[in-house]
């Protein structure tokens, strides 16, 4: 059997009948009688299975005993036209090897239709379900499309650090990285932790964003993007937050906020279109099983111009809406997901880019407007999700940047290098961060962010 080369099922299903083939994969179902057995085999290359037909005059009951749902097999046989409906070809088995059986009494994926909650508890096996196969293939396709989009535009992929000693990134609470003995923490004379004894000689954390380093790249290479894991130690147990998630952060010299919005809109539409063009079977499965409007919704985003609106105008719409919100809204408050979704789903019924937020609720590095009240921030808001992108034009003036840092009473020791870029050859520039899993929520139609990443990390949960 080993003399033959394995053919993936995605390939087989495109082939004409008439050749001998070798397939390897996991049994999804087995049915039949004394004379004939039908096995649906899946190898992860596609959501579709290949049907294997075992003529029981050529195989013994004993040989087929280990062929149960979940078992892993290699089968050699002839590819023939299928008489049954649903598939064009099937395999008439000649040889069978069982790599690994799966005990029907204990294999957890027996019955159809497990709940998403249950599947999260078996994160080691859930990739073998149709649903998660689809999701992870789409995740791959989106990652590839992200690199393709930027590469085709001449952007450079910049690797920013995962461990950082700048504590002022400001995007959220951080996970500390230390090699200090937690049972015997070295103290300085003031009684605080003596970080000079720690691995990096100072306090270090996992990054919450690659942006600050991304800006250094943009101010040298012109157009860069990052794509890597980021970490937030916030106790947010929501269907839209993870403690470890992936972010894509383009940063572009000579872009103002308008260029930045244009890029964000083009980028999302490109990715959504890429999924429709390249993940057809997987999207169709998710559409049929979970969300009958999924494909329609994806298509409509490509065809729609996003609404562009200032925060001030957005707040006015919300206040006049007569809608009762859990968190009341007025000028100056940070918008909650319920507000964002009202604008997108009820008021405009399309994606919205909200700009020019009050400076108090946005980060120190955003470009200050002349009104002295707002900054050139932009959030892209999406149906079912709320914020999918957060970005801004950056403050390029040394004086204004330092002024804002003083206002906020931020320590600048760990940020000296960032500030120096405004001293030496500063330039207007902009960028944004797209949460990869938020994008995947939209593209797959899933409702919980823990179901679009293979091994989710969230408060009190780091299994697998
Ligand atoms: P939110 O208000 O939704 O908590 P944020 O404003 O804190 O998000 P940013 O710091 O602007 O988020 O991060 C940029 C993008 O990263 C967001 O637009 C979102 O898509 C994504 N993102 C942020 N926090 C998380 C998280 N905890 N889990 C998954 N994605 C996230
Ligand atoms: Mn944000």
pLDDT, residue 167, reads 66
Q: Strand ranges (DSSP E) for 158-258?
A: 163-164, 176-177, 204-206, 223-231, 244-253
Q: Is the predicted pLDDT of residue 2 greater than 70, yes or no? A: no
Mean pLDDT taken over the chain: 95
pLDDT, residue 412, reads 80
264-270 own/partner pairs: CB under 8 Å, 24+ apart: 264/353, 264/378, 264/380, 264/389, 264/391, 264/432, 264/434, 265/306, 265/353, 265/380, 267/149, 267/434, 268/301, 268/351, 268/380, 268/388, 268/389, 268/434, 268/439, 269/301, 269/302, 270/145, 270/149
Give DSSP secondary structure letters for 397-456: -HHHHHHHHHHTT---GGGHHHHHTTTSS---EEEEEEEHHHHHHHHH--S-GGGSSSS-
Cα–Cα distance, 296 to 132 (Å, whole number): 21
- Which of 340, 435, 442, 459, when mutated, tests ligand 1's pocket best, judged by the most ligand atoms within 8 Å of its CB? 435
Tens-place pLDDT, residues 20-77: 999 999 999 999 999 999 999 999 999 999 999 999 999 999 999 999 999 999 999 9
In this predicted structure, which of 1-10, 35-44, 102-111 has the lowest mean pLDDT?
A: 1-10
pLDDT, residue 83, reads 81
Q: For 245-254, what is the mean pLDDT?
A: 98
pLDDT, residue 4, reads 84
pLDDT, residue 410, reads 87
pLDDT, residue 170, reads 67
* CA distances, 439 to each of 422, 443, 456, 458 (Å): 33, 6, 16, 18
Which ligand gives the minimal distance to the CA of 170? 1
Structural contact between residues 422 and 401, judged by C-beta atoms closer than 8 angstroms: yes
Q: Name the 3-class secondary structure at 361.
A: helix
Cα–Cα distance, 222 to 204 (Å, whole number): 29
Structural contact between residues 239 and 452, judged by C-beta atoms closer than 8 angstroms: no
Structural contact between residues 7 and 22, judged by C-beta atoms closer than 8 angstroms: yes
Give DSSP secondary structure letters for 449-461: GGGSSSS--BTTB
Pocket of ligand 1 (CB under 6 A): 171-172, 232, 241-242, 245, 247, 387-390, 433, 435, 437-438, 449
**388 Cα–ligand 1 center, Å:** 7
pLDDT, residue 169, reads 60
Could you give the percent of the chain with pLDDT greater than 70?
A: 98
pLDDT, residue 172, reads 78
**Segment (H or E) for 392:** strand 386-393
Q: Give the closest residue (by CA) to ligand 1 atom 28.
A: 241
**435 Cα–ligand 1 center, Å:** 6
- Residue 338 makes CB contacts below 8 A (sequence gap 6+) with 325, 326, 327
Tens-place pLDDT, residues 110-168: 867 899 999 999 999 999 999 999 999 999 999 999 999 999 999 999 999 999 988 66
Q: For 412-434, what is the mean pLDDT?
A: 95
- Which of 207, 226, 390, 458, when mutated, tests ligand 1's pocket best, judged by the most ligand atoms within 8 Å of its CB? 390
Q: Give the closest residue (by CA) to ligand 1 atom 9.
A: 390
Q: For 231-245, what is the mean pLDDT?
A: 94
- Give the global pTM: 0.96
Q: Is the predicted pLDDT of residue 171 greater than 80, yes or no? A: no
């Amino acid at each position: 059997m080993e003399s033959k080369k394995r053919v993936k099922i995605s390939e087989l299903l495109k082939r004409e009948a008439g050749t001998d083939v070798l397939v390897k994969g996991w049994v999804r179902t087995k049915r039949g009688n004394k004379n004939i057995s039908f096995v649906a085999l899946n190898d992860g290359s596609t959501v579709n299975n290949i049907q294997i037909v075992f003529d029981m005059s050529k195989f013994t009951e004993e040989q087929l005993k280990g062929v149960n749902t979940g078992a892993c097999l290699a089968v050699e046989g002839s590819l023939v036209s299928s008489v049954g409906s649903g598939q064009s070809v099937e395999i008439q088995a000649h040889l069978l090897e069982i790599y690994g059986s799966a005990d029907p009494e204990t294999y957890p994926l027996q019955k159809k239709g497990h709940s998403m909650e249950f599947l999260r508890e078996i994160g080691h096996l859930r990739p073998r379900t149709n649903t998660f196969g689809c999701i992870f293939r789409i995740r791959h396709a989106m990652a590839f499309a992200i690199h393709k989009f930027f590469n085709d535009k001449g952007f450079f992929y910049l690797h920013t650090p995962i461990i950082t000693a700048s504590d002022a990134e400001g995007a959220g609470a951080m996970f500390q990285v230390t090699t200090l003995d937690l049972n015997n923490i070295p103290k300085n004379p003031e009684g605080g932790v003596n970080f000079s004894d720690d691995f990096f000689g100072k306090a270090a954390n996992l990054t919450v964003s690659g942006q600050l380093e991304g800006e250094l790249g943009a101010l040298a290479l012109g157009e860069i993007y990052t794509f890597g894991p980021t970490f937030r130690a916030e106790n947010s147990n929501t269907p839209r937050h993870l403690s470890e998630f992936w972010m894509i952060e383009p940063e572009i010299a000579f872009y103002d906020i308008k260029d930045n919005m244009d890029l964000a809109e083009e980028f999302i539409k490109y990715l959504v279109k890429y999924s429709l063009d390249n993940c057809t079977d997987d999207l169709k499965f998710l559409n049929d099983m979970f969300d009958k409007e999924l494909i329609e919704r994806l298509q409509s985003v490509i065809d729609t111009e996003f609404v562009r609106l200032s925060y001030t105008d957005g707040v006015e719409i919300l206040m006049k809406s007569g809608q009762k919100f859990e968190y009341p809204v007025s000028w100056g408050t940070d918008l909650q997901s319920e507000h964002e979704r009202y604008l997108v789903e009820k008021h405009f019924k399309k994606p919205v880019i909200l700009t020019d937020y009050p400076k108090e609720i946005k980060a120190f590095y955003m470009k200050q407007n002349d009104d002295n009240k707002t900054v050139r921030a932009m959030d892209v808001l999406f149906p079912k999700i709320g914020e999918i992108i957060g970005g801004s034009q950056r403050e390029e003036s040394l004086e204004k940047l330092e002024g804002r840092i003083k206002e906020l009473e931020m320590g600048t020791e760990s940020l000296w290098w960032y500030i120096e870029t405004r001293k030496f050859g500063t330039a207007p520039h902009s960028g944004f961060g797209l949460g990869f899993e938020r994008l995947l929520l939209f593209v797959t139609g899933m409702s919980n962010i823990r179901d679009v990443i293979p091994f989710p990390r969230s408060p009190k949960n780091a299994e697998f």
